[in-house]
C-alpha cells in the first residue's frame, strides 16, 4: 500500500509543470539546465545559473529574477507549502528564468552537473540546532565538496 504524501501541498506541486521539480525531476535535468533556460529565455540568456538553497516561497528569488531576465535562477526548499507558494508566485509573474525544486540542498550533486551553477546563495544554512536535527545540517565537508563540483571554476558561494 502506497504511503500518503507528508503534505496536502505535495499533489498541488504538479500544477506547475516545468516550473516546480521534485528531486527526481531535477536529477533528470542534471547537465541540461542550460538548455532548459536557453529554450525559455532565448538568445538573451547569459548562461549564468544562480542557485538559492532554502528559498522558502521564492519571494527574494522572484524579485531578483525580475530585475535580471537574462540570468537563470533555481530555488530549492524542503517544505512543500513554501515551494507551492513559490510556484504560485512564479506562475503569476510569468518569469521564464526561474525554476523551483522541492528537495534537499544536500542533494545538489545529483541535481546539477559539474560546473553547471554560477553562484550558490545560502542565507540561513543551519537552522537545525537540536541534537536530533544535527544530521540535517547543510554545511559540512560532503556538501562543500559537492558545491565545489557543481560550481563553475572561479564562481562563488554566498
pLDDT of residue 141: 79
What span, in angstroms and rounded, lies between the C-alpha atoms of 72 and 51? 9
In this predicted structure, the answer to whether residue 80 has a pLDDT above a threshold of 90 is yes
pLDDT in tens, 9-37: 988 888 899 999 999 999 999 999 999 99
Contact 103, 22 (CB under 8 A): yes
Q: What is the CA radius of gyration of the chain?
A: 15
pLDDT of residue 32: 97
pLDDT of residue 153: 77
What span, in angstroms and rounded, lies between the C-alpha atoms of 31 and 79? 25
In this predicted structure, the answer to whether residue 75 has a pLDDT above a threshold of 90 is yes
Share of the chain above pLDDT 90, in %: 67
Q: What is the mean pLDDT of residues 108-136?
A: 82
pLDDT of residue 136: 66
pLDDT of residue 100: 98
Q: What is the mean pLDDT of residues 49-66?
A: 96
> At CA 95, angle to CA 91 and CA 98, rounded to 5?
95
pLDDT in tens, 87-113: 999 999 999 999 999 999 999 999 999
Nearest to 146 by CA among 9, 13, 20, 51: 51
In this predicted structure, the answer to whether residue 133 has a pLDDT above a threshold of 80 is no
Amino acid at each position: 500500500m502506497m504511503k500518503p504524501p507528508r503534505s496536502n501541498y505535495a499533489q498541488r506541486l504538479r500544477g506547475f509543470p516545468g516550473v516546480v521539480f521534485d528531486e527526481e525531476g531535477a536529477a533528470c535535468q542534471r547537465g541540461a539546465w542550460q538548455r532548459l533556460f536557453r529554450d525559455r529565455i532565448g538568445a538573451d540568456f547569459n548562461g549564468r545559473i544562480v542557485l538559492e538553497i532554502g528559498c522558502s516561497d521564492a519571494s527574494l528569488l522572484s524579485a531578483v529574477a525580475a530585475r535580471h531576465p537574462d540570468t537563470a535562477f533555481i530555488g530549492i526548499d524542503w517544505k512543500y507549502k513554501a515551494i507551492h507558494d513559490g510556484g504560485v508566485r512564479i506562475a503569476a509573474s510569468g518569469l521564464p528564468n526561474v525554476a523551483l525544486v522541492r528537495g534537499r540542498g544536500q542533494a545538489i550533486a545529483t541535481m546539477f552537473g559539474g560546473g553547471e551553477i554560477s553562484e550558490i546563495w545560502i542565507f540561513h544554512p543551519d537552522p537545525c540546532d537540536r541534537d536530533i536535527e544535527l544530521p540535517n545540517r547543510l554545511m559540512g565537508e560532503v556538501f562543500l565538496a559537492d558545491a565545489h563540483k557543481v560550481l563553475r571554476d572561479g564562481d562563488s558561494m554566498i
